[in-house]
Each structure stands twice: as structure tokens, then as C-alpha cells.
Structure 1
Amino acid sequence: MDSPLVLIVLFTFLAVVLVILAIYFALDDLMSMHRTWLAKRLGDETTEEHRLQTSAAAASVFPHLNRMTNPFDQERMKPDWRERSQLWISQAGLPLTPQLIVIRALLLCMSLGGLVLMVTGSIAGAILVGIIAASFPVLQVLIMRHQRLEKMRFQLPDALGLMSRVIRTGQTSAQAILSVTEEFSEPIKGEFLTCYQQQNLGIPTEATLRDLSRRTGLLELKMFVVATIVQAQTGGNLAESLDELSQTIRDRFRILSLIRTITAEGRFQAAILLALPVLILILMMLMNWEYARILLDFPLVLVSVLVSEFLGAVWIWHIINFDF
């Protein structure tokens, strides 16, 4: 491919990406107009000085105050895709926003895709590499979210045992939550610390526990929240309930370990089968580039392979992973 034609294709590709980015931010501004109007109305009811003093602290401790104070409103006000994306990023422990993730994906897509286009001159290869590169920030969020939630899940039984012992000494549930923040490391430390700060600043205990369950999304923490709320409403021995819940979670882990042991061979075979086409293609490119680059002239074949790989991965994942 001639150099002028390569530059034309490259600049066209960059222009399309920039147009998509501009459309995204325009739609983002339109969707946030209502929230901006509401914030202005609320700001008119208070003094500017008071609003500036309280906004920073409230944003970190009460990011979803309107959903915490009334559980019925919480059920009606379903989060939109931006709030769900931000929740997943928060669960990954990353100080990012969905907009930054999109910008990173576009930058990787443009840089690596443009590099492949200039080196090989293949538009299909540049598009393919750009799509794969754009998925890296999303994969980073998903992997870090999974690792952080798994670590929190394995910290939870010991945390509940500690809370049970603290309550048996005559302390309150708030003091039991504080003890978890003092004795454990992240990520469970930060989540329970936020819950304690919310209670310390006047939010009802039930609302803070519901928000803890919403932030983490863990089934085991939902069990803890339901048990604590029911005990607070009907009475009972909270320490004994926490001990039983801790033992239940440990039993679930034991079953999960057994399942992973039984499905280890299937997961290993799945990893080999999914990685084999990609590894063979890379090996062919390294050994005989002129032969391998012919495949890049048939983008439909590459797209079909990627779709088949994705469907196979989803199918295998559903076979070896299930709720119990």
C-alpha cells in the first residue's frame, strides 16, 4: 500500500474515532442535564458557602443518599448503565470513571491499530488489533473486580467471627463493624469503614447495611445484611446468628473448592482450546509472515473465529460455573 494512501486511511480512522468520542460526550451531557438542573434547584435552597463545605464530604460517604434512606425508592430507582459501570469500577477498587475507561480504550484502539496499519498496510489487521486493544481497559476492570470480590469473600467469615466475639463482650453492632476496620486489610476494611462512617453521621443502620450490600454485590454479604436487619427488627441473639452465618459461608467455600477440583481438568482443556488458534496464528506470523498475512485479507474469517471463540468461552464458563 502506498504511503499517501496509508496516511489517508490512518487519518480517516482517527477522524471516525474522534467523531464517535464527540458523540459520546454530547450524549453524556444531554443525559446529565436533568441532574444538573436538580443540583441547581437544591443549591438555590442553601447558601453557596454551606454547599461548598458539605459537598466534598457528602460525595464520598453518601454517594447514593436518595436510595439509602428509603428502601422502596431504592427498588423503584433502578441504576442506569452509567451507574452500573461506575459500580463495577468501584468494586474493582479503581479511582476511575466510565468516561476515562472509554478514553483509554479509544486511545489504545487508535495507537495500536494505527501502528499495525502503518507497519503492515492491512486495514483488516488494523481494525482487528484495534478492537482487541480497546478491550484491554474493560478486561482490566473485570479481572481486578473479580480478584477484589474474591478476596473480600474469603475475608468475610473471619470478619463475622470477630464481630460475633465483639458483640458477646457487650459492644454494639457499630463497634463490631469498627473492629473489622481495625483488624482486617483491604478490601473489606474500606467497605466496613464506609458503613461505619455513614452510621456515625446519622444514617440509619438498615440503610447503611443495604448500601453495603449494593456496593459489593456479594451474596454472602447480602446474607449478612438480611440476618442483621431481621435481628434488629424482631430481636434475637445477633452473635449466635453471626456464628452460624460464618459457618454457612465456610461450608459454601468448602463446596466451591470441591467444585473447582472436579472441574479443574475441564477448565485446563478450555484454556488450551481457546488459546490454541491465537497461538498458532502468532507462530505463523513469526515463522512465515507472507503466508500468514493472506489471512488478514479475509476479515470475515477472523471475525467468525473471534465470535466462535467467544461463544465457546461463554458456553464452557456456564458449564463449569454455577450458583449453589
Structure 2
Amino acid sequence: MNPLIIGGAVVLILVWVGFIAFAAVSFRRQSTVEERLGEFTRGEVVAAPKETQPRQGGFIVEGLNRAVRGRGFAERISRSLARADLKITVGEYLALHPILFIGVGAVAAFLRQDLLAGLIAGGLSLFAPNAYVSWQQGQRLVKFDSQLADMLNLVVNGLRAGYSVNQALESVSREMPPPISVEFKRVVQEMQLGVTPDTALSNLTRRIPSQDLDFVVTAMNVQREVGGNLSEILDTISHTIRERVRIKGEIQTLTAQGMATGYVISGLPIALGLFLYFINPKYMGQFFMNDKFWLCGYGAVCLIIVLIVVGFSIVMKIVDIEV
């Protein structure tokens, strides 16, 4: 085993562990939007003693937050984190990428005794944070949509019992499970602080990119302008959403086999190539390290990736049926 590789891997691992330990100590406690709004609505804002207040975060993270504040990409990242309900700042999210690159790359280089393997593994790890945020957004959106019809029934029953719209929405924040209770709690607290209902509901649609929610919010805004029986309107919308969810579930059942086929067929060549590379690097290295045919090897790999992406896109387009 090459001592240089071992020493470098040990140093990188120690740096990675030290960075994580520093981050764990220095990252400030994230106070959620509903906690901050709740303090103002309850009128219980009490300044903690200076020595007991939590630290405002490590200088690296705070420096990143100041450097990216007001920039367009930082706003997009902040919206993505809010939609995923992740209580981290943009600086913490950005700092996570070099930590993953160093840590995963060092471990892969140490296990394979190959710097190229470490660079490949570290590069692939950079996609992990964005993939996790996207997955978390999707899971939260699916859960929100599944609760929307029950939420509308609760609001309709409250309106028929004599509640105002604000009281009906507040009952949603108390009686429904997350994430819909959390989001409508924010709506209620914003309105209690003087934000207009139109603005509060518009903020909700920006946090939750749901077509069904847009339909509900539009109906509530129109009813507020022109009048009408809101309980009957929401009851009709609730029935429509339930039927849409039922039909969508049937379509997903019918297209599940095609979707699984697309994932398996697209992922199999990539998984097989990585497996062969880690098992027998010299065999796969002929694609890239052969003095005569390295250009053909890189060209073949690029062509394979393009064909995989095209094939996967076609399969997903076939099974993607809008309801």
C-alpha cells in the first residue's frame, strides 16, 4: 500500500472530521418562521441574557451567508430549502458541498488506493445535497396534496358551524398533521401580524407549488372579491380534488411497470460500468488510458450517456400522463 496515498487519505479524513466537528459546534440553532412569528403574536418577546444567547454561527458559515445575501442563486436555494422544510441556511447548504467532496473522496481514494476514484466519488457526492432537497420537496408536496381534501372538509365544516375564515384556518393549524398544519399556521400568524389574506395565501402558494392549492387559493380570492357561499365552493373543490387524486392513483398503478423499466434499463449500464471499474480498474481503464484509443473511449462514454438520457426521457414522457 502506497504510504503517500495512506498519508494523504488520513489527512483528508482528519480535515473532514474536524470540519464536521467545528460545524456541529458553531452552526447556530435554526429558529423556524413559525417560532419567530409566534413570539410576536403572543407578545412574549423576552431578550435572553447575552451570555446565554446561542452563538450566531461559525465565521465560515456566516461569511458565506453575507457573501451570497441578495444574490439570485441564493434566493433560489433559500426557496428550495423552505419548500423542503429544511432548517438550514444557504451558507450551511453551500458549506456542505466541500465537506462531502473531501470526506467521500478521501474514503474512496483510501479504499481503492486510486486518486482518480477519489475524485470521481467526491464529484458524484456533490450531487447528493441537491438530490436530497429535491426528494424532500417531492415527499412533502405529495403529503401536502394528500391532506388538502381533508383540510377543505375541515374548513367547510367550520364555516357551516359559524366560524370565520381565519378561525377555520386556525383550526386547520391545530387539528391537522404536518405539513399542512405548519403551512396554515404560518398563514394565520401572518394575517395576525397585519398581512392581508391575499398576500398570506400568495406566500403559501410560493412555498407549496401545488396545482390543487393554487385552485383553492384562487377560489378563495375570487369569493372574497365578488362574494358567494364559500363553504359550497370549497366543498365542490374538495370533491374535485378527491376524484383527481383517485384517477391519478389509478394511472400511477397502470404506469408503474413502465416507469420501473425505465429506471432499471437506464441505471443498469451506469451501475455495471462503476462496478467493473472498482472491481477491475485496468480493464475499464482501457477506455481512458490507452494511448491510441483514449479519444474513442471518451467519445463512446459520452455517446452512451447521451443515449441513456434520451431513452430515459422518452420512457418518462410516455408514462407521464397529466390528470
- TM-score over 0.5 for the alignment? yes
Q: Distance in 1 between matches of 2:302 and 2:8?
A: 25
Is 1:173 the counterpart of 2:165? The answer is: yes
Which one of the candidate residues 235, 249, 256 is aligned to 1:257? Answer: 249
Per-residue deviation, 1:7: 7.5
TM-score, reference length from structure 1 = 0.71
Per-residue deviation, 1:206: 1.2
Contact in 1 for aligned 2:9/2:107 (Cα 8 Å): no
Per-residue deviation, 1:287: 5.6
Contact in 2 for aligned 1:61/1:194 (Cα 8 Å): no
Per-residue deviation, 1:317: 2.8
Q: Which amino acid in structure 1 is aligned with residue 131 of structure 2?
A: L
Contact in 1 for aligned 2:153/2:235 (Cα 8 Å): yes
Per-residue deviation, 1:157: 0.4
Q: Which amino acid in structure 2 is aligned with residue 273 of structure 1?
A: I
Q: Which amino acid in structure 2 is aligned with residue 281 of structure 1?
A: G
Q: Distance in 2 between matches of 1:126 and 1:286?
A: 11
Q: Distance in 2 between matches of 1:120 and 1:5?
A: 10
Identify the residue that residue 187 of structure 1 maps to in structure 2: 179
Identify the residue that residue 135 of structure 1 maps to in structure 2: 127
Relative to structure 1, the CA distance from residue 98 to residue 274 in structure 2 (aligned partners, 3 Å threshold; closer, same or farther) is farther
Q: Distance in 2 between matches of 1:165 and 1:148?
A: 25
Is 1:226 the counterpart of 2:218? The answer is: yes
Is 1:159 the counterpart of 2:151? The answer is: yes
Relative to structure 1, the CA distance from residue 81 to residue 59 in structure 2 (aligned partners, 3 Å threshold; closer, same or farther) is farther
Q: Which amino acid in structure 2 is aligned with residue 263 of structure 1?
A: T
Contact in 1 for aligned 2:37/2:189 (Cα 8 Å): no
Tell me which protein shows more helix as a share of its residues. 1
Q: Distance in 2 between matches of 1:289 and 1:216?
A: 46
Q: Which amino acid in structure 1 is aligned with residue 320 of structure 2?
A: N
Which one of the candidate residues 278, 286, 300 is aligned to 2:270? Answer: 278
Q: Distance in 2 between matches of 1:80 and 1:314?
A: 29
Identify the residue that residue 63 of structure 2 maps to in structure 1: none
CA deviation map 1:203-251 (0-9, x unaligned): 1111111111111111111111100010011000000000011111112
Relative to structure 1, the CA distance from residue 9 to residue 282 in structure 2 (aligned partners, 3 Å threshold; closer, same or farther) is closer
Q: Distance in 2 between matches of 1:81 and 1:59?
A: 29
Contact in 2 for aligned 1:61/1:197 (Cα 8 Å): no
> Greater shift after overlay, 179-188 or 146-155?
179-188
Contact in 2 for aligned 1:61/1:198 (Cα 8 Å): no
Gap regions ≥5 residues in structure 1? 12-55, 63-78
Is 1:198 the counterpart of 2:193? The answer is: no
Contact in 2 for aligned 1:151/1:187 (Cα 8 Å): yes
Question: % of aligned pairs identical?
Answer: 26
Contact in 2 for aligned 1:10/1:117 (Cα 8 Å): no
Residues 1-324 of structure 1: pairs in structure 2 closer than 5 A: 57=36, 80-284=72-276, 288=280, 290-292=282-284, 294=286, 297=289, 300=298, 302=301, 305-324=304-323
Q: Which amino acid in structure 2 is aligned with residue 199 of structure 1?
A: M
SS of structure 2 residue aligned to 1:263: helix
Contact in 2 for aligned 1:195/1:209 (Cα 8 Å): yes
Q: Which amino acid in structure 2 is aligned with residue 149 of structure 1?
A: L
SS of structure 2 residue aligned to 1:111: helix
Relative to structure 1, the CA distance from residue 142 to residue 119 in structure 2 (aligned partners, 3 Å threshold; closer, same or farther) is same
Per-residue deviation, 1:101: 2.2
SS of structure 1 residue aligned to 2:231: helix
- What is the aligned length? 267
Q: Distance in 2 between matches of 1:141 and 1:201?
A: 30
CA deviation map 1:285-313 (0-9, x unaligned): 57655534555646835555445444443
SS of structure 2 residue aligned to 1:163: helix
Relative to structure 1, the CA distance from residue 133 to residue 59 in structure 2 (aligned partners, 3 Å threshold; closer, same or farther) is farther
> Greater shift after overlay, 167-176 or 200-209?
200-209
Per-residue deviation, 1:4: 5.1
Q: Which amino acid in structure 2 is aligned with residue 320 of structure 1?
A: V
CA deviation map 1:89-115 (0-9, x unaligned): 111111122332222122111222233
Q: Which amino acid in structure 1 is aligned with residue 268 of structure 2?
A: L
Per-residue deviation, 1:121: 4.9
Per-residue deviation, 1:124: 3.8
Q: Which amino acid in structure 2 is aligned with residue 115 of structure 1?
A: V
Q: Which amino acid in structure 1 is aligned with residue 124 of structure 2?
A: I
Contact in 2 for aligned 1:122/1:296 (Cα 8 Å): no
